[in-house]
Amino acid sequence: MRLSRNSRIKINTVIISISLLTWVLLLINPGNIMTIEHCPVTISGPSTASVQMLLEMNPLSSQLIGWGLMVIAMMLPKIITPIQFIYAQSLKRYRFRLALLFVLGYVSVWMIAGVFMIGAIMWLSLLVPLSNTPALVVLAVALVWQFSPIKQRFLNYGHQHRVLPAFGWEAHKASFSFGITHGTWCVGSGWAMMLFPMLLQEWHNVAMLFVTFLMISEHMEHPRPPRWHFDLRLKLLRIIIAQTKIRLMKRA
Amino acid sequence: MTYTRKNAWDDNNGGQFTNTDGSYTDLYWYAKGVQVMQARPISDPTSWWFYAAIHGQYLINNSGSGSAPLEYPNWKKVEYIPSSANLGTPPPPKQTDLFWDQCQHQSWFFPPWHRGYLVAFENILRNIIVEQLGGNSEWALPYWNYLNQSTTYQEYKIPTAFTLETLPDGTPNPLFVRERFGPNGDSNVYIVVGDQQDGTQADDECQYDKTYTGTSKSGGYGGGKTGFNHSGNFSITGGLEMNPHNWVHNMVGGLNSEPLSYSGTEMVVQANQPWQTTGIDIVKDGETVFIGISTDRNAPTKWTADPQDNNGGLYDANGSPDIIVSADQPLYPMVGVPMGALIGRVGGGTPFLIGTGAVVPNDTIGLLELCINDDLTGAYGAGLTDNQGAITVQFTPTPSEEFEGLMADPGLAGLDPIFFLHHANIDRMWTAWNVTGENSNPTSADPNGADWLAGPSANGNSQFAMPVDSDGTPWYYKPADVQSTMNLKYYNNVLYSYTYNDLSLTSYDKQPSASGLAKRLNKLRGINNVTEATVAMHTSNELVGSSNNSIVLNSGATKTEVKIDADSWGLVANSLAQKSIDTIPDEVYLQLENVTGTNNSNFLSVYVNNILVGAVSLFGIRIASMQNTAHGGSGLTFKFNISDIVDDLYIAGNIDIDSLNVSIRTKKPLPKGSIITVGRISVYRSGQ
């Protein structure tokens, strides 16, 4: 049964507020958590010493915090629908903690992916320091991935809202594992797009905003058969344009 | 010019091709026009096959139906489609992406999308009829009003013109479709009207609904708001779409049940007699037989094995609600099952439980016998002598393969020419609801009304598009363009008007069924002084109970227990205890969530504590269960208001419950190998 309008608005408001606050934090960038500082690399390429130096300048823990904040800022609006779904499917007293378990499962997957992605970023910044080439290469990969049937498959899986058990341990376990599977499909569809802004030397934040918009948008599209499809899936943009038109016409 | 759509029975000489004066009827010109459209290959956007695919298709791996199945219902396996359709050369993806698989179901766009579909189709046909065939220039699509209570014609039957194999000119009649099996699977096509015990009759009660837009609690007339997300949990089916629309699709399409000599035969099993023969010989590994309970309202379907039990009340074939035969009474035919349940045996072998429906095991041979599960020999008391009542059973062969009629599946339905007469009737009902019923479609003043008027593109989805010529020139339309049949905005903004020669609000249900808050309050208070009360806007919907697991349905009845959460249920009980107009009692809903499967043509009847709460048609379940469709594979979700049953529990002082007994009964046996799964059965309260 659908949630009441009020409950839906509350969920939307809380999630979007958290996301916006995190965005503000990221844009202020306290302690440079979102930027990898570079060390000089010898002509022989990355060495153990340079890796060590890079890690000292950018401890993995602080990079993971930065990554986590980025995931929260960018991904939370994407999981409004599954959280509404969990609220509708659960006993009232369980709702909040089941939603929290879902988010925990979901973010965990992105954090695990983050370890690999940060590793890749560090390796690339040692290999070709201060260059936009890796970003361009990843952008090309992201575009191919974007139009591929496999990405569509991941997006389709993201629409699977399994039926959740209502009671006890089973309910909790199911919400957590729903978070993990939903996170897996999200990483599967969006990994390349997430990597791209991380590799940019400049315009990092703008790219992140653009990618967020794209990712929210593509998750709003209906599932469709997996095949090569040259489409950026800009449903959110279409909705914004259509709703603006409707409001302007009403005013006129 | 205003075209008039007329009754396929009354205004076509009783559903015929010729009038009494020898002239041709609208049905004849329809058939001739269909013939021309069917002669065109599928690559032509004005061909019959292309137009059917606009509704839905199983031919190409396209948006909507996902991967086309390799076997039936793949269009290449449909006998009705001739080789001249040239299915091997479909239109280019540009056209299939724009036009195919558009049908709007479980959505508030159901009425306007289908109206535009029929208008475009009617215009193509009229062009053919007038320009190519020299027919009537005022021709309009006839409608089949299966709910019409005419005393001249039996209009619940499919018009005669659809049952003839040839036209008056001797050519094959394109209106005749073999893959149209009817409610009993025997190709006798009619609509079941009039009360059925399992609630599966078609009716037009929806016409009394006063609001178009559905809410979380009711489907409304036209369906719930369809936003960007359209999976089973977010979509709400309107009353018009549910019944009669879905019902009629299933009853016409049906499932080919390979009729045997005993198909549909009935037998009365007496409570006071031991084993009674059915006359049916079961052949080892042969055709399977399904035993169900007769749905004829006049047939006896209650009995008792002990008048002292159940407060002297008779019960159904599931047997006593209180007594399970214990193992220390081995002279009962079956122990561990309810006393008084309907049971059977083959060749005098081990008895099996039938209850309200079961497939007869065919691993042994012999005569099929039935009886009541009771002390048959009087070993423990009065035996059969004090038994009362009888149960009427029905025998149906279980199909050996899944073979549904075209009309039962949205991916095939547009292939059957009766589709357009059925939808003309649905469109007629919508017109009457607006005109005679004085109801209103959503307007820009309503919350979300602007979204309805603007159509799916308001939420980022594709707009409606119909090809108007063989080049595939699209007519794009939105609900605002087609909200009235007069001056409807057709292609190039040309105004187009049509009407119906019968705009009665209802044809069958002459008064709305009594319901509402006043009735509830009077019942709960045991008085009769509340005369008018409207349901207040409840603010909260909350889960109060749920089944533990998903449920795989059997042929016939499947019982399960829905556990109730004590804390949440306390709120329901409190609200009932207060029962004033200021503190409106909670409404309670039972929901079947994520019902998936492939058996479109079946119906499910749902019982709570042995009381029927409603029935649903599974039309569209195959497509809704496919992963790559707008539903995301989540299947269909159905909701039933069970407040009345909860009120009765409260009045009887039994409101403190820890579970509800839910029984789901398939109207027809499941085809072999077909599985229907209910993801979860849940109970919700809607209250303050």
Q: What is the CATH number of the domain that holds B177?
A: 1.10.1280.10
Residue B511 lies in a domain: no
Residue-number span of the structural domain to which B305 is assigned: 266-398
Within this chain, do residues B15 and B145 fall inside the same structural domain, yes or no?
A: yes
CB–CB contact B541 A3 (8 Å): yes
Cα gap B138→B232, rounded to integer Å = 42
pLDDT band at A40 (very low <50, low <70, confident <90, very high): very low
B478 to chain A: which residues are within 8 Å by CB? none
Confidence at residue B529, expressed as pLDDT on a 0 to 100 scale: 64
In a shared domain, residues B464 and B534:
no
B203 and B318 both lie in a single domain: no
Chain A residues bordering chain B (beta-carbon distance below 8 Å):
1-4, 6-7, 81, 85, 88-93, 156, 159-167, 170, 220-227, 235-236, 238-239, 242-243, 245-246, 249-250
Separation between Cα atoms, residue B654 and residue B665, nearest integer Å: 26
- SS3 for B614-683 is EEEECCCHHHHCCCCCCCCCCCEEEEEECHHHHHHHHHCCCCCCCEEEEEEEECCCCCCCCCCEEEEEEE
- Chain A residue numbers with beta carbons less than 8 Å from the beta carbon of B542 are 91-92
Spatial separation of the C-alpha atoms in residues A79 and A220, rounded to whole Å: 11
Q: Is the dihedral of CA A199, A204, A208, A210 positive or negative?
A: negative
Chain B residues touching A150 at Cβ < 8 A: none
* A222/B541 touch (CB, cutoff 8 Å), yes or no: no
User: Nearest Cβ partner of B628 from A91, A92, A223?
Assistant: A223
Nearest to A223 among B228, B594, B632 (CB): B632
Contact A160, B634 (CB under 8 A): yes
pLDDT of residue A46: 59
Backbone angles phi, psi at B399, to 5 degrees: -60, 145
| Contact call for residues B107 and B219 (beta carbons, < 8 A) | no
Can you give the pLDDT at residue B139?
Answer: 97
Q: In the prediction, which pLDDT does B32 show?
A: 97
Which residues in chain B touch residue A4, judged by CB atoms under 8 angstroms apart?
Answer: 216, 538-541
Gap between the Cα atoms of A156 and A178, Å rounded: 15
Domain total of chain B: 3
pLDDT given for residue B263 in this prediction? 63
Cβ contact, residue pair B628, A243, below 8 Å: no
Q: Please tell me the total count of domains within chain A.
A: 1
Is the previous residue joined to B585 through a cis bond, with omega within 30 degrees of 0? no
For B:649-688, CB contacts with A below 8 A are: 679-680, 682, 684, 686
- The answer to whether B58 touches B421, Cβ cutoff 8 Å, is no
Whether B512 maps to a domain, the answer reads: no
Phi and psi at residue B309, in whole multiples of 5°?
A: -85, 160
Q: Give me the pLDDT at residue A223, please.
A: 82
Residue contact B61–A225, C-beta within 8 A? yes
B116 three-state secondary structure: helix
Whether B682 sits inside 8 A of A1 (CB atoms) is: yes
Q: Within 13 Å and on the Cβ side, how many CA atoms surround B37?
A: 30
> Does the residue B491 lie in any domain?
yes
* B144 shares a domain with B40: yes
Min Cα distance B96 → chain A (Å) is 13
For residue A112, give Cα distances in angstroms to A60, A141, A180, B311: 13, 21, 11, 64
Phi first, then psi, for residue B371 (nearest 5°) are -165, 180
Q: Cα torsion for A8, A108, A72, A33, to the nearest 10°? A: 170
Indicate the residue of A2, A93, A160 with minimum beta-carbon distance to B216: A2
Q: Do B351 and B275 contact (CB within 8 A), yes or no?
A: no
A151 has pLDDT over 80:
yes
Give the confidence band of A66 by pLDDT, cuts at 50, 70, 90.
confident
Q: Are residues B199 and B274 in the same domain?
A: no
A&B contacts, CB < 8 Å: 132
In terms of domains, do B309 and B359 share one? yes
Share of chain A above pLDDT 70, in %: 88
**Looking at the structure, do residues B369 and B441 belong to the same domain, yes or no?**
no
Kindly report the CATH number assigned to the domain that includes residue B370.
2.60.120.430
Residue B235 lies in a domain: yes
Residues B453 and B531 in one domain: no
Asked if the Cβ–Cβ distance from B630 to A164 is below 8 Å, we say no
A89 closest CB neighbour out of B538, B543, B630: B543
More confident residue, A81 or B118: B118
- Find residues 291-320 of chain B whose CB sits inside 8 Å of chain A: none
Q: A41: pLDDT confidence band, cut at 50, 70 and 90? A: very low
Lowest mean pLDDT among A8-12, A46-50, B332-336, B648-652: A46-50
B245 and B270 share one domain = no
Q: Is residue B641 part of a domain?
A: yes
Output the six-digit token pair for B525. 């208070």
Banded pLDDT at A128 (limits 50, 70, 90): confident
Top pLDDT among B312 and A224 is at B312
Q: Using a CB–CB cutoff of 8 Å, tell me whether B187 touches chain A.
A: no
Closest CA to B250 of B145, B156, B180, B161: B180
Q: Do A91 and B568 touch (CB under 8 A)?
A: yes
Let me know: does B148 contact B7? Beta carbons within 8 Å: yes
- Considering B333, B366, B398, which residue would you say is the last residue of a domain? B398
Strand, coil or helix: what is B392? Answer: strand
CB B479 within 8 A of CB B441: yes
Query: Are A167 and B628 in contact (CB < 8 Å)?
Result: no
Token pair recorded at residue B200? 């599966």
Q: Same structural domain for residues B435 and B565?
A: no
User: Residue B673 is part of a domain; what is its CATH number?
Assistant: 2.60.120
Residue A127 belongs to what domain range? 5-251
Q: Is B168 on the interface with A (CB under 8 A)?
A: no
Can you tell me the distance from the alpha carbon of B190 to that of B179, in angstroms, rounded to the nearest whole number?
14
Q: Does B549 touch chain A (CB under 8 A)?
A: yes
| Chain B nearest C-alpha distance from A6 (Å) | 8
Those residues of chain B that have pLDDT short of 50 are 63-65, 259
**Residues from chain B contacting residue A249 (CB–CB below 8 Å):** 450
Whether residue B233 is found in the same domain as residue B161: yes
Question: Which chain A positions have a beta carbon within 8 Å of B566's beta carbon?
Answer: none
B contact residues 458-497, partner A, Cβ 8 Å cutoff: 458-461
Using a CB-CB distance cutoff of 8 angstroms, which residues of chain A are in contact with residue B629?
222-223
Residues of B with Cβ-Cβ distance to A163 under 8 angstroms: 550, 593-594, 679-680
Is there a domain that residue B231 lies in?
yes
User: Does residue B63 sit at the A interface (CB-CB below 8 Å)?
Assistant: yes
Out of B460, B630, B684, whose CB is closest to A1? B684
Residue B313, in any domain of the structure = yes
Q: Show Cβ contacts of residue B286 under 8 Å, excluding neighbours closer than 6 positions.
A: B362
**What is the predicted pLDDT for the residue at A37?**
55
Q: Which two tokens stand for residue B465?
A: 């598009």
SS3 state at B278: strand
Residue B508 within a domain: no
Chain A neighbors of B541, CB-CB under 8 A? 1-4, 7, 88
Least CB–CB distance from A225: residue in B231, B543, B628: B628
Of the residues B398, B418, B440, the one at which a domain ends: B398
Question: In this structure, are residues A180 and A110 in contact, taking their beta carbons and an 8 Å threshold?
Answer: no
Q: Which residues of B touch A246 (CB under 8 A)?
A: 450-451, 454, 458
Q: Evaluate whether A117 touches A192 at the Cβ level (below 8 Å).
A: no
CA distance A103 to A162: 16
Distance of CA B344 to the CA centre of its chain: 30
DSSP-assigned letters across all residues of chain A: -PPPHHHHHHHHHHHHHHHHHHHHHHHH-GGGTT-PPP----TT---HHHHHHHHHHS-HHHHHHHHHHHHHHHHGGGGHHHHHHHHHHS-GGGHHHHHHHHHHHHHHHHHHHHHHHHHHHHHHHHHSTT-SHHHHHHHHHHHHHHHSHHHHHHHHHTT--PPPP-SHHHHHHHHHHHHHHHHHHHHHHHHHHHHHHHH-SS-HHHHHHHHHHHHHHHHHSPP---S-------HHHHHHHHHHHHHHHHH-
Domain match, B188 and B77 both: yes
Residue B500 has what pLDDT? 98
